[in-house]
């Protein structure tokens, strides 16, 4: 199994393989069918050739008969037969034989005695060899046969010499030899071999269009069955062959073996096959180009979409993918762009919300269904407040004051968030921060204390900057309390904000107010609950017990020094 | 079945026609083929077995006509010594010939409407086949007999030999298409005074070997 790292490569490969399978399967199917048709056509041609052979043989017989018959109608010939001497008769018959280019001729008397014989004149006066042949001539007015005389085979015709009743019989024969089969070959377009099958079972080649050296090969092939087209191997070459009976008598039967060279006959098929191969290869090459084009048309928009997704991954929602297609990919691109626009809008909302509220709160608001209500949670609340803000504002423009305040609040907020807390709200120059809502940590109290220490340190840094700018120094007081409060969305159904409410919040605010007391000399005052839950590594000092508005019991308070033991 | 019907009709024919009509006797012969059908043109001849043949002092001349490139009659039985003329009643010439051993003769092309100057005398018994050199299908048979007692069957297969003296006769039948294997058929008929003799033959005949008749002619069959 091949694995491709690129979708395009996989697409090209699978498309090519699919087309190749179809093409190769088509090739083999067409090739197989074509070869079958070609073979069938060869067999049919051979059978047609066999029929032509029959017709030609019949035509030869008719021509032989017509020529012979015409001779017998010669009045002088008839007249000569009656009462002529043997020499004269021989001369007449020889002359007649020459007239029609026959190979043998014989004149037989009505009592079956040979009156003249061109092949063997010594037989004159003797009984004719084949009285049954003469009987057929007598009965039917004509007779045909294949005879063997002096080792040669002849196509023989016998006709009566009518005057007007038969006065003698004339037999004329044409030898079956190489010329005969070569003449026939030109008509039936097949190699022809005339074979004699003797009653002793021996096959003899009478004549053949094959060259002499194939005679032996041919004679070895004794498995050829009559009347059935079959393929035989002769001297290493395949021949489609058809054996058919021509004529027979008591001594032998003549067969014609029609053969066509398979390779010659299949030449048109091979030409077709070459064209088929060329078409298949061209189609395969074309399929590669096509698959490349198709994969390009598919993968280019996919790649564009991937690039779009990567941009999304990096927070770039402003880049739309540009795919001008009306298909599924086009629809996907459009949906992607819509999604991008949605995400961009959401990000804007998120960013804006993050600026209005802390990031975790913004996340809490965005991730859940925003609805009124809250839950009880243990939350550590920081309240910080800037002192001398009035002095800082004096003789300064509101914008300049706001800028200074923003510098201060930004640093305070950053510190809170760096410890996992959230700025719940700004109240003028005061900051209310939460640790434990909306996300809680096991060490929220410690986190709040560290944040408070850093805030004091940040204040010192700000003061150093202010000093360089000739601005008055600022001071801050921080109150920290931890308690079970209600955290959630409060307000109206149309306008709400995430916050916490409860006594614990008030206590933190009161503690921040206590930092103003000179006697405590503390920038950070924590409640007893905080003290108890905080690590003991924080340096604290007990400030006493105080009464806090809204609390019936006195509350122990501690100052948190800004360094850790 | 057909054979039986024909024999029945022949018997009826004899009863009504042959009750010693002549001073000499008469012979009524019926010739049928294998299928029991009457055979036309069969020649019946009778030779006395116990006496010499009394040949007629004169033999009337006979003609074989040529009409529409056909010899008429097809079969002509004659007694030895008969002179036969061959008038040409066609519009074309004919060339009559015979290569038969009984009478070999030739009357070269002679014009229509005439007959040869000299009739041909048939002075040897036997079958003479005549033909026309320029019309291959024209053929006729002359059966030359050495007895005056003969007759030829008509389409009904019946021949009547008249004026036969009383006595024993060997009656033979011949037909131009008699099958070769057919042996000569003969019957002995004892002709008594006051009663005609009767005899019937069942013979085997074969189809005639004919040449193709030229176009625009009629009556010729294809050569088998």
Q: Residue A190's closest CA among A129, A265, A245?
A: A265
Contacts of residue B213 in chain A, CB cutoff 8 Å? Answer: none
Domain span at residue B167 reads 2-52+154-202
Are A106 and A137 within 8 A, CB to CB? no
Least reliable range by pLDDT among A97-101, A275-279, B24-28: B24-28
For A335-372, give the DSSP string. HHHHHHHHHHHHHHHHHHHHHHS-HHHHHHHHHS---S
Number of domains chain B is built from: 2
- A73 has a chain B CB within 8 A of its CB: yes
Q: Are B97 and A163 an interchain contact pair (Cβ–Cβ within 8 Å)?
A: yes
Percent of chain A beyond pLDDT 90? 19
Residue B35 in domain? yes
Asked if pLDDT for residue B1 goes beyond 50, the answer is no
Domain span at residue A511 reads 369-564
- CATH label of the domain that carries residue A147: 3.30.450.20
Q: Are residues B46 and B94 in the same domain?
A: no
Q: Are residues B73 and B134 in the same domain?
A: yes
Residue B220 in domain? no
Confidence of residue B18 (pLDDT cuts 50, 70, 90): very low
Are A338 and A325 within 8 A, CB to CB? no
Confidence of residue B222 (pLDDT cuts 50, 70, 90): very low
Asked if pLDDT for residue B210 goes beyond 90, the answer is no
Contacts of residue A78 in chain B, CB cutoff 8 Å? Answer: 99
- CATH label of the domain that carries residue B168: 2.60.40.1120
Give me the pLDDT at residue A215, please: 56
- A163 has a chain B CB within 8 A of its CB: yes
Asked if pLDDT for residue B72 goes beyond 90, the answer is yes
CA distance A47 to A229: 8
- A185 has a chain B CB within 8 A of its CB: no
- Which of A175, A191, A206 finishes a domain? A175
- Which of B145, B179, B210 finishes a domain? B145
Quote ipTM for the complex: 0.76
Residue A537 in domain? yes
Q: Are residues B39 and B107 in the same domain?
A: no
Give me the pLDDT at residue A106, please: 93
Contacts of residue B180 in chain A, CB cutoff 8 Å? Answer: 138
- A82 has a chain B CB within 8 A of its CB: yes
Residue B103 in domain? yes
Q: Are B138 and A164 an interchain contact pair (Cβ–Cβ within 8 Å)?
A: yes
- A136 has a chain B CB within 8 A of its CB: no
- Which of A158, A175, A192 finishes a domain? A175
Count Cα atoms within 13 angstroms, Cβ side, for A285.
6
Across the interface, which of B99, B139, B209 has its CB nearest the CB of A167?
Answer: B99
Asked if pLDDT for residue B86 goes beyond 90, the answer is yes
Q: Are residues B106 and B179 in the same domain?
A: no
Per-residue pLDDT averaged across B173-193, rounded? 85
Asked if pLDDT for residue A555 goes beyond 80, the answer is yes
Residue A460 in domain? yes
Residue B212 in domain? no
What pTM, to 2 d.p., does this model score?
A: 0.57
Q: What is the mean pLDDT of chain B?
A: 82
Residue A228 in domain? no
- CATH label of the domain that carries residue B126: 2.60.40.420
Confidence of residue A369 (pLDDT cuts 50, 70, 90): low
Residue A216 in domain? no
- CATH label of the domain that carries residue A475: 3.30.70.1230
Q: Are A82 and B99 an interchain contact pair (Cβ–Cβ within 8 Å)?
A: yes
Cβ count within 10 A of residue A224: 17
- Which of A157, A175, A193 finishes a domain? A175
Interface of B with A (CB under 8 A): 97, 99, 104, 129-131, 133, 136-139, 180, 206, 209, 211, 223-224
Residue B221 in domain? no
Give me the pLDDT at residue B3, please: 46
Q: Residue A190's closest CA among A267, A259, A268?
A: A259
Q: Residue A422's closest CA among A504, A361, A355?
A: A361
Give pLDDT tens digits for A262-279. 888 778 888 888 998 898
Q: Are B129 and A141 an interchain contact pair (Cβ–Cβ within 8 Å)?
A: no
Per-residue pLDDT averaged across A244-263, rounded? 84
Q: Are A79 and B99 an interchain contact pair (Cβ–Cβ within 8 Å)?
A: yes
Per-residue pLDDT averaged across A367-396, rounded? 82
Residue B45 in domain? yes
Number of domains chain A is built from: 2
Asked if pLDDT for residue B16 goes beyond 50, the answer is no
Give pLDDT tens digits for B111-142. 888 777 789 999 999 999 999 998 988 999 99
Q: Are residues B109 and B162 in the same domain?
A: no
Give me the pLDDT at residue B4, please: 52
Pick among B133, B139, B181, B207 to test the A interface (most A CBs inside 10 A): B133
Q: Choose between A213 and A281: higher pLDDT.
A: A281
Q: Are B224 and A140 an interchain contact pair (Cβ–Cβ within 8 Å)?
A: yes
Q: What is the mean pLDDT of chain A?
A: 85
Give me the pLDDT at residue B213, please: 56
Q: Are A82 and B139 an interchain contact pair (Cβ–Cβ within 8 Å)?
A: no
Give pLDDT tens digits for B89-102. 999 999 999 999 99
Residue B8 in domain? yes
Across the interface, which of A73, A75, A165 has its CB nearest the CB of B129?
Answer: A165
Per-residue pLDDT averaged across A427-447, rounded? 90
- Range with the largest mean pLDDT of A129-133, A160-164, B152-156: B152-156
Confidence of residue A126 (pLDDT cuts 50, 70, 90): very high
Q: How far from each other are the two terminal CA atoms of chain B, in whole angstroms?
A: 30
Across the interface, which of B99, B223, B224 has its CB nearest the CB of A163?
Answer: B99
- Which of B127, B145, B163 finishes a domain? B145
Residue A115 in domain? yes
Asked if pLDDT for residue A358 goes beyond 70, the answer is no
Residues in chain B: 224
Residue B198 in domain? yes
């Amino acid at each position: 199994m091949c694995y491709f790292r690129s979708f395009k490569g996989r697409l090209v490969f699978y498309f090519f393989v699919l087309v190749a399978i179809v093409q190769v399967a088509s090739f083999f199917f067409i090739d197989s069918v074509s070869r079958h048709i070609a073979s069938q056509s060869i067999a049919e041609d051979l059978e047609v050739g066999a029929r032509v052979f029959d017709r030609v043989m019949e035509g030869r017989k008719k021509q032989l008969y017509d020529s012979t018959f015409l001779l017998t109608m010669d009045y002088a010939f008839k007249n000569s037969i009656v009462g002529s001497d043997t020499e004269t008769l021989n001369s007449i018959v020889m002359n007649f034989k020459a007239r029609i280019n026959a190979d043998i001729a014989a004149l037989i008397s009505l009592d079956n005695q040979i009156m003249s014989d061109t092949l063997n004149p010594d037989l004159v006066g003797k009984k004719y060899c084949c009285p049954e042949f003469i009987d057929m001539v007598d009965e039917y007015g004509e007779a045909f046969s294949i005879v063997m005389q002096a080792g040669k085979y002849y196509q023989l015709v016998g006709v009566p010499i009518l005057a007007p009743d038969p006065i003698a019989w004339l037999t004329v024969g044409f030898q079956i030899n190489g010329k005969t089969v070569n003449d026939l070959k030109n008509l039936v377009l097949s190699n022809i071999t005339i074979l004699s099958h003797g009653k002793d079972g021996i096959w003899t080649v009478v004549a053949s269009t094959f060259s002499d050296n194939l005679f032996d090969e041919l004679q070895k092939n004794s498995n050829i069955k009559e009347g059935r087209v079959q393929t035989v191997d002769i001297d290493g070459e395949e021949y489609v062959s058809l054996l058919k009976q021509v004529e027979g008598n008591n001594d032998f039967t003549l067969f014609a073996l029609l053969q066509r060279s398979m390779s010659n006959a299949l030449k048109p098929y091979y030409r077709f096959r070459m064209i088929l191969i060329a078409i298949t290869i061209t189609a395969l090459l074309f399929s590669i180009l096509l698959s490349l084009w198709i994969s390009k048309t598919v993968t280019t928009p996919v790649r564009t979409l991937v690039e779009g997704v990567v941009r999304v991954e990096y927070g770039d929602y402003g880049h739309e993918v540009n795919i001008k297609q009306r298909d599924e990919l086009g629809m996907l691109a459009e949906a992607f762009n819509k999604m991008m626009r949605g995400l961009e809008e959401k990000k804007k909302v998120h960013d804006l919300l993050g600026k209005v509220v802390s990031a975790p709160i913004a996340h809490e608001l965005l991730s859940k269904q925003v609805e009124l209500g809250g839950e009880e949670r243990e939350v550590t609340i920081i309240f910080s407040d800037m002192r001398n803000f009035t002095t800082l504002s004096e003789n300064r423009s509101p914008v300049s004051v706001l800028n200074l305040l923003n510098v201060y609040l930004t640093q305070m907020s950053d510190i809170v968030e760096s410890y996992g807390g959230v700025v719940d709200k700004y109240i003028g120059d005061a900051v209310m921060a939460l640790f434990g809502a909306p996300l809680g940590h096991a060490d929220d109290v410690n986190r709040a204390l560290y944040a408070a220490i850093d805030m004091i340190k940040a204040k010192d840094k700000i003061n150093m900057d202010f000093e360089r700018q000739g601005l008055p120094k600022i001071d801050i007081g921080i109150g920290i309390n931890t308690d079970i409060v209600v955290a959630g969305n409060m307000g109206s159904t149309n306008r709400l904000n995430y916050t916490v409410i409860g006594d614990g919040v008030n206590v933190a605010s009161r503690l921040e107010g206590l930092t103003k007391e000179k006697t405590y000399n503390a920038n950070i005052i924590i409640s007893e609950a905080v003290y108890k839950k905080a690590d003991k590594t924080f340096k604290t000092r007990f400030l006493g017990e105080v009464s806090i508005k809204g609390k019936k019991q006195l509350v122990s308070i501690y100052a948190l020094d800004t360094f850790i033991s | 079945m057909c054979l039986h019907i024909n024999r029945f009709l022949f018997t009826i024919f004899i009863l009504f026609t042959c009750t010693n009509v002549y001073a000499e006797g008469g012979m009524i012969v019926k010739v049928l083929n294998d299928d029991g059908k009457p055979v036309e043109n069969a020649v019946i001849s009778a030779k006395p077995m116990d006496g010499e043949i009394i040949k007629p002092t004169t033999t009337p001349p006979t003609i074989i006509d040529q009409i529409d490139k056909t010899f008429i009659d097809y079969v002509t039985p004659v007694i030895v010594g008969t002179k036969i003329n061959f008038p040409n009643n066609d519009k074309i010439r004919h060339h009559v010939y015979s290569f038969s051993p009984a009478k070999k003769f030739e009357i070269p092309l002679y014009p229509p409407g005439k007959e040869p100057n000299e009739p041909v005398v048939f002075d040897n018994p036997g079958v003479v086949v005549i033909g026309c050199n320029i019309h291959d299908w024209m053929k006729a048979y002359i059966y030359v007999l050495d007895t005056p007692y003969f007759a030829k069957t008509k389409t009904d297969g019946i021949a009547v030999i008249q004026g036969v003296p009383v006595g024993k006769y060997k009656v033979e039948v011949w037909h131009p298409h008699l099958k070769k294997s057919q042996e000569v058929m003969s019957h002995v008929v004892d002709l008594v005074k006051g009663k005609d003799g009767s005899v019937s033959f069942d013979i085997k005949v074969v189809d005639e070997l004919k040449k193709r008749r030229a176009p625009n002619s009629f009556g010729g069959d294809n050569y088998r």
